[in-house]
Amino acid sequence: MDRPKILVVGSMNMDLVMYGMTDLPKWGTSAFCTEYQYAAGGKGLNQSLAVALQGADAFLAGRIGRDDNGKRLLEQAEKAGVRTDYVKRDENGLTGLSTMNMGEDGKYFSIYAPGANRKLEIADVENALAHQSFDMIAMQLEMPLEVVYHICELGRKRQIPIFLDAGPAMSIPLERLRGAFVISPNEAETEALTGIAPDTMEQIEAAAEKIYREAEPGYVLLKLGSRGAYLYSREHRDYIPGFRVKAIDTTAAGDTFGAAFCVQYCMGKCLEDSIRFAHAAAAVCVTRKGGQPSIPTKKEAEEFLSEHTP
């Protein structure tokens, strides 16, 4: 398939990014950062933008508030070629906001105020599916969990592959995710879902096996940061290393990885090649500052892949 059609369901946030944090504050104290900026973000918006830049037709279902932040996010999505027909404005609420507190090695912690993302409804997704057919639905967990569970059920009933980026980290009943095609948590999300920190190969396999047994997806795809990824299914126990690069900001790396994987897989690539390509796209992302501005195009990921070996 030349140009897959992918529906992304998920959060739209204004990110307040603070650079240069060295210490975490204690209650009653302040921590300092050196610079800050506002940037369009949210796992849903990032993923949809990455899907568009990676060469697919991206549709986004999400919620913004009636504020300037919402307007800016919508403009940003449309500028990148994302179809926003299924983004609704919440008349009373504020657009979601995340503070992204950046430390060393590109790592961050964030504080998330869901705002209008809380209002996303099952009906929004049903509406999109009533008007269009999609090759895949991609989603994350920054939205009401009932919507997440419903999309998993839809996937099974209507035979639509569902890709779940299981972020942010939270403990949820794995059996409610039955119907997902791929479940893809990062390290912290894996620990939150399974109680197992994926540090050693034994722990990685045990965590993946638990998700596979309880949520029964087609595949579990663990993102292991700089270490790469781990693919688990009945036929797979595959560790797929990432690329060695100097990471300066990992914001949106997971969103980029998931989007690039979905697009490549829908284009007909095998799982392993799709993961390798996703590693290349995410590696480019982590070498650039910022969230959305750091998401590469398909061409940039192809160039990186042709010049590097994992």
The residues that are catalytic are 255
CB of 239 to ligand ATP, least distance (A): 12
Using CB under 6 A, pick the residue from 134, 181, 257, 277 that binds ligand ATP. Answer: 257
CB of 118 to ligand RIB, least distance (A): 13
CB of 3 to ligand RIB, least distance (A): 25
Q: Amino acid identity of 71?
A: K
Give Cα 108 to chain centroid, integer Å. 15
210 binds ligand ATP (CB under 6 A): no
Q: What share of the chain is helix, strand, coil (3-state, %, to 5)?
A: 40, 25, 35
Of 191 and 255, the one with the shorter C-beta distance to ligand ATP is: 255
Residues 274-303, interacting with ligand ATP (CB under 6 A):
279, 282-283, 286
CB of 159 to ligand ATP, least distance (A): 27
Of 168 and 242, the one with the shorter C-beta distance to ligand RIB is: 168
Give Cα 241 to chain centroid, integer Å. 19
User: Residue 218 carries which DSSP code?
Assistant: S
- Sheet strands side by side (includes 13-19): 35-41, 13-19, 96-102, 108-113
- Number of other residues whose CB lies within 10 A of the CB of residue 239: 14
**Of 246, 228, 247, 248, the residue nearest 238 (C-alpha):** 228
Q: Among the candidate windows 66-74, 193-201, 222-230, 259-267, which touches ligand ATP by CB under 6 A?
A: 222-230
9 binds ligand ATP (CB under 6 A): no
In order of 84, 185, 301, the CA distances from 60 in angstroms are 5, 21, 23
Of 160 and 193, the one with the shorter C-beta distance to ligand ATP is: 193
Residues 145-204, interacting with ligand ATP (CB under 6 A):
167, 186
Cα–Cα distance measured from residue 51 to residue 49, given in angstroms and rounded to the nearest whole number: 5
Q: Which residues of the chain form contacts with ligand ATP (CB under 6 A)?
A: 167, 186, 223, 225-226, 228-229, 242-243, 245, 247, 250-255, 257, 279, 282-283, 286
